[in-house]
Amino acid sequence: MRILLKIVLTSSLVSIMTIRGQDFMTDKNNYDILIQNGTIIDGSGNPGFRADILVMGEQIVQIGDVDPESITVKQIIDATDMVVTPGFIDNHAHGNPLRTPEFKNFSAMGVTTIFLGQDGVSRENISEWMNDVDAAALGINIGTYVGHGSIRNQAGVELDPEPSYRDRRKMARLVDEALNAGCFGLSTGLEYQPGSFSKLNELIAIARPVGKRVGVISSHTRNEDDEVVQNSIAELIEQGERGNCAVNISHLKVVYGHGGARAEEILQQMHDARQRGVSVTADMYPYLASYTGIGIVFPDWAKPPFNYEEVVRTQRDELASYLHKRINKRNGPEATLFGTAPWAGKTLKQVATELGKSFEDVLIDDIGPKGASGAYFVMDQELQDRLFLDPHIMAGSDGSPTMRHPRGYGSFAKVIRYYVNEKKLLTLEEAIFKMSGLPAMTVGLVEQKRGLIKEGFFADILVFDSDHIKDMATFENPHELASGFDRVIINGKNVRSEGEFTEQRPGKMLRKR
């Protein structure tokens, strides 16, 4: 059954999307790119329409019928039987642009802009880092959040569960400085240290500068387990409500929850908050396994500031019992697939069998809370599908070029392959909205003329046949590039042409104005 997406643009959003008095500095009829004969799906969620597109420099300067005989153009792209869409925007990504500036895993699946600084972690001298990224030859556009955990460390608060009023003021000031430097908002990672030590008064204090600068808080909430996930969402909503800012739930999921009815309860909670005036969105990746450090299965009392070796020595039976119950509740040791050496590609069950130990003894003696990362198969297809169909939920990979999880190479391609072509749960227009217009509106990129096919906007453009889109990455081979996005244009330059990467790297370090 198709869930129809109906987006009602508020007057403020309409004003943001309106181009006022835009003058195009073109040399009469000389242009760089003409895209002909395609069906434009502009990213707004509206039906596709037939039109041509003219690009001059970095911008889309004309949309409509274009007579190629009446102009001079450097390149003509025939988009017959293809769709022309905005480049996709990944609101939750990972990676190091100073090490892998090409980010081919993203552009190969149609992503032209990613946002880093997730889960409460960002570079502490973020303004200097942005300048360094500016100097790199980027294959895609990059924006960033400032991380709450990094702010805690920078302020000297670190693992303190009760920071003073002065410390909270200092953290708020550091957040404000990062936003002034160009960060698009604040990220929190409340399931990880040091964010897990924070309380609501601190979260509200650091939210206020975000609200004043019309940013967004994107949060890995405190706990995603079924019995407490709504408490975690409620905490984020209260942070947004009292901090007067928009909030976004990172990689929305319900760990070991089941069924569409459970999804409806989560969506109703978000709807009720919007009815009270709180802007609440979420991003999701289309896979049933998460990926993070193995510390996610260990209790807080076995992690800093507690001494792990002391815990093992004095509370081993209690720790073993906790891990046994925790892993079995998360679908058993066969549902944990390691992504780091020396066990990459093996499940916890396989490792335990090879070592001739119980899986809890493997976790205690051979791995520990910091000894590995992995994929955890803990989600339900029906529940996750129903969540994703909601019009306020966007696609986001939570992936990187190096992570051993297919989401970093396949998420956006899989949205089209699975939700549009196979299951027919979304129209192509609805899917494109979730991957372009919605994230652009959420983070404020529409104000910077990105995320839509629109005159005056930057030319981040895809040309493809939607029937040919396929995610190739698997858990066995997670670094296989997606196929089908044969033409990728970023800032008016061809990054992919006829399915092959070019030598051009026109990406930019984006800053919020």
Based on the domain organization, do 137 and 209 belong to the same domain?
Answer: yes
Based on the domain organization, do 247 and 311 belong to the same domain?
Answer: no
Q: Which of 19-28, 128-137, 249-258, 352-361 has the lowest mean pLDDT?
A: 19-28
Residue 342 counted as domain residue: yes
- CA 384 to CA 449: how far, in whole Å? 31
Query: Which pLDDT does position 513 carry in this prediction?
Result: 84
Residue 117 counted as domain residue: yes
- CA 90 to CA 410: how far, in whole Å? 12
Closest CA to 282 of 236, 341, 349, 329: 236
Residue 318 counted as domain residue: yes
Structural domain count of the chain: 2
Query: Which pLDDT does position 205 carry in this prediction?
Result: 98
Based on the domain organization, do 232 and 101 belong to the same domain?
Answer: yes
Helices 200-212 and 165-181, packing angle to 10 deg: 30
Based on the domain organization, do 412 and 425 belong to the same domain?
Answer: yes
For residue 2, pLDDT beyond 70: no
Based on the domain organization, do 331 and 416 belong to the same domain?
Answer: no
Tokens of 300: 């807080």
Residue 328 counted as domain residue: yes
| DSSP string across 137-206 | --SSEEEEPEEHHHHHHHTT-TT-SS--HHHHHHHHHHHHHHHHHT--EEEEETTSTTGGG--HHHHHHH
Which residues does residue 77 pair with via DSSP β-bridges, in sequence order? Answer: 35
Tokens of 306: 């507690």
Domain-terminating residue out of 343, 377, 411: 377
Based on the domain organization, do 197 and 97 belong to the same domain?
Answer: yes
pTM here? 0.92
Based on the domain organization, do 134 and 164 belong to the same domain?
Answer: yes
Residue 468 counted as domain residue: no
In the predicted model, what is the mean pLDDT of the chain?
94
Based on the domain organization, do 181 and 329 belong to the same domain?
Answer: no
Based on the domain organization, do 99 and 210 belong to the same domain?
Answer: yes
CB 401 within 8 A of CB 275: no
- CA 175 to CA 481: how far, in whole Å? 36
The burial class, CB within 10 Å (0-12 / 13-18 / 19+), for 340 is: middle
- CA 361 to CA 328: how far, in whole Å? 14
Residue 127 belongs to what domain range? 88-288+383-443
* CATH code for position 170: 3.20.20.140
Tokens of 395: 């696609």
Based on the domain organization, do 215 and 271 belong to the same domain?
Answer: yes
Domain-terminating residue out of 377, 400, 422: 377
H/E run at residue 475: none
Q: What percent of the chain has pLDDT over 90?
A: 94
Closest CA to 84 of 71, 97, 102, 66: 66
Based on the domain organization, do 332 and 411 belong to the same domain?
Answer: no
Domain-terminating residue out of 411, 443, 475: 443
pLDDT tens-digit readout, 237-260 = 999 999 999 999 999 999 999 999
pLDDT tens-digit readout, 279-315 = 999 999 999 999 999 999 999 999 999 999 999 999 9
Sign of the alpha-carbon torsion through 421, 427, 433, 438:
negative
CB 406 within 8 A of CB 317: no
Mean pLDDT to the nearest integer, 267-275: 98
Residue 244 counted as domain residue: yes
- CA 483 to CA 476: how far, in whole Å? 18
Q: pLDDT band for 29, please (50, 70, 90 cuts).
A: confident
Residue 431 counted as domain residue: yes
Residue 36 counted as domain residue: no
Based on the domain organization, do 147 and 209 belong to the same domain?
Answer: yes
Helices 165-181 and 126-135, packing angle to 10 deg: 20
- CA 455 to CA 459: how far, in whole Å? 9
- CA 352 to CA 350: how far, in whole Å? 5
Query: Which pLDDT does position 28 carry in this prediction?
Result: 61
| DSSP string across 48-79 | PEEEEEEEETTEEEEEE---GGGSEEEEEEE-
- CA 260 to CA 267: how far, in whole Å? 10
- CA 114 to CA 60: how far, in whole Å? 21
For residue 10, pLDDT beyond 90: no
